[in-house]
Amino acid sequence: LIATFPNIYISTTVQYIDLSINQSAINLQSIMVFEKDLNLDATELRLGLPGSSEESLRISNKRALPDMNDDSGVAVAKKCDQETAPPTKAQVVGWPPIRSYRKNSLQTKKTEAETGGMYVKVSMDGAPYLRKIDLKVYKGYPELFKALEDMFKFKVGKYSEREGYNGSEFVPTYEDKDGDWMLVGDVPWEMFINACKRLRIVRGSEARGLGCVV
């Protein structure tokens, strides 16, 4: 609004460290080397609230889902029963920085959408994202499979009671109310949608030996 303020000299009793750039460059380099040597564990999670201590904020390589960096194409070593959800975090106020207006819009949409539906999460080995689908909108397995095929770009293949999904590269499985992982398609549809807690599309090789209802 108004022209520049004159520089003001401050004399205080506080001791200042020498903040010259040259010295700081050397210090920075040594800090960078130090951090590399630390080799922070890729899966180390700290749950301290922000600001509580510097260390609690030093999380490196977060959220690198193992599947994404898996170059060799070997099926991921995660077993079905090992797939645990990450620990719930205390939500940090104001983070991520999304305006209240937008947050409220998302919230309304979520509650409107989720009442009356049977929403389950769907994941696929190798895909770095999840989907949520409403099982109620599908009339049976053929429709469900078509939707999954469109969503994740794969083919379910032929199902037989004896051999399961023989010859398919990917196989749909689900976790039932007891926590067991089953092949999708082995029980009547109505029973399935009531029992299904979440879906996972696994690589064909993984699906062998999965519990089936006899």
Residue ranges that bind another protein, judged by CB under 8 A: 1-5, 7-8, 10, 12, 14, 16-17, 19, 21, 24-25, 27-28, 31-32, 35-36, 40, 42, 50-51, 54, 57-64, 68-69, 85-86, 88-89, 91-102, 105-106, 109, 121, 123, 127-132, 150
Q: Which is nearer to another protein, 30 or 166 (CB)?
A: 30
d(CA 36, CA 44): 15
Q: How far is the CB of 169 from another protein (least distance, A)?
A: 19
How far are the Cα atoms of 115, 131, 143, 149, 194 from residue 112, in angstroms, in the given order? 6, 18, 24, 27, 21
Q: For residues 25 and 212, which CB has a smaller minimum distance to another protein in the complex?
A: 25
- CB of 105: closest distance to another protein in angstroms? 6
How many C-beta neighbours within 10 Å does residue 200 have?
20
**CA 23 to chain CA centroid, nearest Å:** 41
Q: Which is nearer to another protein, 107 or 205 (CB)?
A: 107
* Closest residue by Cα to residue 200 from 167, 177, 176: 176
Q: Which is nearer to another protein, 26 or 214 (CB)?
A: 26
Minimum Å gap between C-beta 79 and another protein is 18
